[in-house]
C-alpha cells in the first residue's frame, strides 16, 4: 500500500510505469501468445492435433533432431575455443593480445551469414579452393552439417569469448599463485583452481551459444543443403507451404530445447558455490602457463584469427571480381550496383535503425531504473517480460508479430512501424541488463540528494541517473544499432515491398548465386556499421563530457 501511495504522489512516474507495462504486454506478450494460440488451434477449437501430426512425420522430426545435434556441437566446440581464446588473452602474456581481441569482434558486428557466404566463395562447388587450388579434384562438401558447424563456430565463438573473458579477469590471481606456492603444477592449478572457478561462465557461454545456434536462420538457409533445421523449416512451412499452424508449432518447438538447456545448466551450476572472498586482488599476472602451453595457446589464437581474417578477406576480395568462380578480373561494378540498385535497401535500413536505436537505448535505461530504483506492484513481472524476447528465437518473434498485428485495430503489417517495434523490443533486453548492472554500482544517495532538493523521480532520472549511466546507455545503443543493421531471422517475416532491409537483399542475392554482388553488399553494410558505431561513441562521449563528473565519496 505504501508503494501505491508513493506512486499517487508522483503521477508522471505512475504514468510512465503504466505506459511501459502496456507496451511490454502489447509488443512482447501478445505476439508470443498469438504464436502459441495458432499452434494449438484446430477446426473444432483447441488441441495438440497439429503437434501430433507434425511429430508423426519423419521429415518434420528430422529437423528437430538436426537442430539439437547442431546446437550441441556448436555450443561445445564454440565454447571450448572461446574459453581457450579468452584464457590466452586474460591469463597469459602472449604477444598480440589486443589484436586478437579486435579480431574476435568481427563476427559480432557483421550479419550472421557473412561467414556462410565466405564459405561458399571458398569451398562451394565453384569456390576458390575447390576450383582454383584443388582444380575440382576434391569437393569439401560445405553444404550440410560440416559446413554449418564450421561457420556457426566461427560466428559464435566470439560470444563465448566475451563471456569467458569477463569471468577469467574476475578470478583473483592470488588463488592460482597460492596453489603454485604449495607445490601444484601449472596443469594442476588450471584443472583444480582456474577451470572450476570458471564453471558459471562456461555454463552461460554454453547456454548462449546453444540458443544462438538453435535460433540461427541466416546460415542454415544458405548452407543447410539436405541437413534441414527447425528455424528454416518453420519459415518454409509459413511462406512456402502456407501452413501457418504447422509453422507456428515448429517455432514453438524451438523454445523447449532452450528452456531445458537453461534448467539443466542452472541446476549444474547451482550444485556448488563459486564465490571467492580474497580481499584485495593481486595486481600482477601469475605465470600459470608454461612455455609449451603458451605456444599452443598463441597458435590457437593465430589459427582462429587467421580463419576469421581469411573468411572476411574472401568476402572483400569477392566483391571486386567480375564473376566469382569464372572471371576473377578486377571491377567496381558491384559497388556501383550497390548504389544504383541497393540504395533503397540501404536507405530503409539506415532510417529504421536510426529511429529504433535511440528509443531502444532510452527504454532500456528507463526499465532498468524502474526495476532497480523503484518499488511497485508487478515490478518483477515487468523485468521478466522485458527479457523474454532475448530468450525466444527470432523465428518465433517474427511469426508472432505477423499474427498479432495483421488486423485492425492493430493493423501494422507492411508498415515501417512493425519493423521499428520489432527492433526495439527484440533488442532492448541487453540495454536493460547493462543498465541494471550499472545502477547496482551507483550509490542511491546521489539520487536521494536530488530528491531531497525537490526534484521528482522523472527529473532525477533525466538529470542525475541517466548521465551516470552513459557507459550502459552506450552499450545499449551499440548493440541495438548493430542488431538492427544485421537482423534477418525475425524481420524476414515483417518486411514488405514498401520497406525492405539490406540483409534481406543480400540473402536474395546469395540464393540467386550472385555471390560477388552479395559480397559487395556485405562490405558496404559492415562499413556502415563501423561508421555508425564511431558516430555513436563520439556523440555519447560529447554528452558525457558535458555532464558533471562525480568522484567517489562526493
User: Tens digits of per-residue pLDDT, 68-79?
Assistant: 999 999 999 999
Query: What are the tens digits of pLDDT across the range 491-536?
Result: 888 888 788 899 989 988 988 889 999 999 999 999 998 888 888 7
CA distance to 32, 328, 354, 361, per residue, from 423 (Å): 15, 38, 11, 11
Query: What are the tens digits of pLDDT across the range 372-385?
Result: 777 777 878 888 78
Q: What's the gap between Cα 467 and its chain centre?
A: 26
Query: What are the tens digits of pLDDT across the range 344-381?
Result: 999 999 999 999 999 998 898 888 888 877 777 787 88
Q: Is 414 left (phi over 0), alpha (psi -120 to 50) or beta?
A: left
293 shares its domain with 156: yes
Mean pLDDT of 26-40: 89
- Of 325-329, 464-468, 477-481, 513-517, highest mean pLDDT: 513-517
Neighbours of 3 (CB within 10 A): 12
336 — phi, psi (to 5°)? -65, -40
Mean pLDDT of 228-256: 82
* pLDDT exceeds cutoff 90 at 160: no
269 shares its domain with 297: yes
Share of the chain above pLDDT 70, in %: 88
417 shares its domain with 522: yes
Neighbours of 273 (CB within 10 A): 6
Q: In this predicted structure, what is the pLDDT of residue 449?
A: 75
75 — phi, psi (to 5°)? -65, -45
475 shares its domain with 536: yes
More confidently predicted of 443 and 386? 386
Structure-block grid coordinates of residue 25? 504486454
The answer to which of 3-7, 78-82, 103-107 has the lowest mean pLDDT is 3-7
* pLDDT exceeds cutoff 80 at 188: no
* pLDDT exceeds cutoff 50 at 388: yes
297 shares its domain with 358: no
Domain hosting 139: range is 64-318
86 shares its domain with 194: yes
Dihedral sign from CA coordinates of 24, 381, 160, 140:
negative
* pLDDT exceeds cutoff 60 at 218: yes
361 shares its domain with 288: no
More confidently predicted of 210 and 542? 210
- Of 113-127, 193-207, 281-295, 429-443, highest mean pLDDT: 113-127
234 shares its domain with 290: yes
Residue 301 lies in a domain: yes
441 shares its domain with 396: yes
Structure-block grid coordinates of residue 55? 511429430
Report how many domains make up the chain.
Answer: 2
Q: In this predicted structure, what is the pLDDT of residue 310?
A: 94
DSSP letter string, 178-220? HHHHTT--HHHHIIIIIHHHTHHHHHHHHHHHHHHHHH--HHH
Mean pLDDT of 38-63: 79
Q: Select from 254, 286, 318 the last residue of a domain.
A: 318
pTM, full prediction: 0.80
Q: In this predicted structure, what is the pLDDT of residue 78?
A: 94
Residue 468 pLDDT level (bands cut at 50, 70, 90): confident
Return the closest-CA partner of residue 490 out of 357, 350, 372, 390: 390
Residue 330 lies in a domain: no
Residue 52 lies in a domain: no
Q: In this predicted structure, what is the pLDDT of residue 75?
A: 93
Q: In this predicted structure, what is the pLDDT of residue 316?
A: 94
Structure-block grid coordinates of residue 242? 502456407
What does the alpha-carbon distance between residue 395 and residue 403 come to, in Å, rounded to a whole number? 12
Q: In this predicted structure, what is the pLDDT of residue 269?
A: 53
366 shares its domain with 431: yes
What does the alpha-carbon distance between residue 358 and residue 478 come to, in Å, rounded to a whole number? 10
Return the closest-CA partner of residue 103 out of 311, 316, 285: 311
Residue 544 pLDDT level (bands cut at 50, 70, 90): low
Residue 281 lies in a domain: yes
Residue 333 lies in a domain: no
205 and 265 in contact (C-beta within 8 Å)? no
Q: Select from 289, 318, 347 the last residue of a domain.
A: 318
Residue 503 lies in a domain: yes
Angle, vertex CA 516, rays to CA 511 and CA 517, nearest 5: 75
Half-sphere exposure of 354 (CA within 13 A, CB side): 9
232 shares its domain with 381: no
* pLDDT exceeds cutoff 80 at 472: no
Mean pLDDT of 176-186: 73
Mean pLDDT of 319-332: 90
288 and 189 in contact (C-beta within 8 Å)? yes
* pLDDT exceeds cutoff 80 at 486: yes
Residue 328 lies in a domain: no
524 shares its domain with 394: yes
172 SS3 class: coil
Query: What are the tens digits of pLDDT across the range 283-323?
Result: 455 556 778 888 899 999 999 999 999 999 999 999 999 98
Residue 59 lies in a domain: no
Structure-block grid coordinates of residue 422? 520489432
CA distance to 68, 75, 236, 259, per residue, from 213 (Å): 9, 8, 18, 14
Which CATH number characterizes residue 98's domain?
1.10.3720.10
Q: In this predicted structure, what is the pLDDT of residue 483?
A: 87
Q: In this predicted structure, what is the pLDDT of residue 534?
A: 84
Q: In this predicted structure, what is the pLDDT of residue 248?
A: 85
Amino acid at each position: 500500500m505504501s508503494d501505491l501511495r508513493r506512486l499517487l504522489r508522483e503521477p508522471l512516474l505512475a504514468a510512465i510505469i503504466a505506459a511501459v507495462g502496456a507496451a511490454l504486454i502489447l509488443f512482447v506478450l501478445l505476439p508470443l501468445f498469438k504464436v502459441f494460440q495458432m499452434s494449438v488451434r484446430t477446426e473444432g477449437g483447441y488441441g495438440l492435433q497439429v503437434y501430433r501430426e507434425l511429430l508423426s512425420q519423419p521429415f518434420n522430426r528430422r529437423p528437430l533432431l538436426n537442430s539439437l545435434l547442431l546446437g550441441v556441437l556448436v555450443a561445445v566446440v564454440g565454447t571450448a575455443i572461446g574459453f581457450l581464446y579468452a584464457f590466452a588473452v586474460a591469463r597469459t602474456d602472449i604477444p598480440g593480445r589486443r589484436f586478437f581481441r579486435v579480431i574476435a569482434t568481427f563476427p559480432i558486428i557483421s550479419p550472421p551469414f557473412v561467414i556462410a557466404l565466405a564459405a561458399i566463395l571458398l569451398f562451394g562447388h565453384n569456390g576458390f579452393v575447390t576450383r582454383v587450388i584443388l582444380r575440382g579434384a576434391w569437393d569439401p562438401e560445405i553444404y550440410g552439417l560440416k559446413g554449418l558447424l564450421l561457420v556457426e563456430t566461427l560466428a559464435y565463438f566470439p560470444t563465448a569469448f566475451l563471456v569467458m573473458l569477463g569471468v577469467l579477469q574476475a578470478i583473483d590471481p592470488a588463488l592460482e599463485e597460492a596453489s603454485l606456492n604449495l607445490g601444484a603444477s601449472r596443469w594442476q592449478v588450471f584443472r583444480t583452481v582456474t577451470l572450476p572457478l570458471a564453471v558459471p561462465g562456461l555454463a552461460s557461454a554454453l547456454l548462449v551459444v546453444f540458443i544462438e545456434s538453435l535460433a540461427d536462420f541466416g546460415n542454415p538457409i544458405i548452407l543447410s543443403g539436405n541437413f534441414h533445421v527447425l528455424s528454416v523449416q518453420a519459415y518454409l512451412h509459413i511462406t512456402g507451404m502456407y501452413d501457418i499452424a504447422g509453422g507456428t508449432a515448429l517455432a514453438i518447438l524451438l523454445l523447449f530445447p532452450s528452456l531445458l538447456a537453461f534448467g539443466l545448466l542452472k541446476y549444474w551450476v547451482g550444485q556448488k558455490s563459486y564465490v571467492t572472498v580474497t580481499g584485495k586482488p593481486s595486481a600482477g599476472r601469475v605465470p600459470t602457463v608454461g612455455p609449451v602451453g603458451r605456444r599452443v595457446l598463441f597458435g590457437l589464437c593465430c589459427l582462429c584469427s587467421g580463419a576469421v581474417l581469411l573468411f572476411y578477406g574472401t568476402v572483400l576480395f569477392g566483391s571486386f571480381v567480375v564473376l566469382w568462380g569464372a572471371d576473377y578480373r578486377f571491377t567496381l561494378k558491384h559497388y556501383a550496383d550497390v548504389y544504383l540498385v541497393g540504395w533503397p535497401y540501404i536507405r530503409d535500413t539506415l532510417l529504421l535503425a536510426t529511429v529504433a536505436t535511440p528509443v531502444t537505448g532510452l527504454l532500456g535505461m528507463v526499465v532498468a531504473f524502474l526495476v532497480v530504483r523503484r518499488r511497485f506492484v508487478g515490478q518483477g513481472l515487468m523485468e521478466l517480460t522485458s527479457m523474454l524476447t532475448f530468450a525466444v528465437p527470432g523465428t518465433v518473434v517474427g511469426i508472432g508479430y505477423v499474427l498479432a498485428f495483421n488486423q485492425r485495430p492493430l493493423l501494422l503489417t507492411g508498415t515501417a512501424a512493425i519493423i521499428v517495434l520489432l527492433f526495439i523490443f527484440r533488442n532492448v533486453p541487453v540495454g536493460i541488463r547493462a543498465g541494471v548492472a550499472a545502477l547496482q554500482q551507483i550509490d542511491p544517495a546521489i539520487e536521494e540528494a536530488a530528491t531531497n532538493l525537490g526534484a521528482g523521480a522523472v527529473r532525477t532520472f533525466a538529470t542525475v541517473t541517466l548521465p551516470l549511466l552513459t557507459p550502459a546507455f552506450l552499450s545499449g545503443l551499440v548493440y541495438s544499432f548493430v542488431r538492427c543493421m544485421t537482423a534477418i531471422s525475425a524481420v524476414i517475416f515483417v518486411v514488405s515491398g514498401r520497406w525492405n532491409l539490406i540483409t534481406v537483399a543480400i540473402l536474395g542475392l546469395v540464393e540467386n548465386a550472385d555471390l560477388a554482388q552479395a559480397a559487395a553488399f556485405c562490405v558496404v553494410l559492415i562499413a556502415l556499421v563501423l561508421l555508425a558505431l564511431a558516430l555513436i561513441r563520439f556523440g555519447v562521449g560529447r554528452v558525457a563530457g558535458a555532464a558533471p563528473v562525480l568522484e567517489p565519496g562526493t
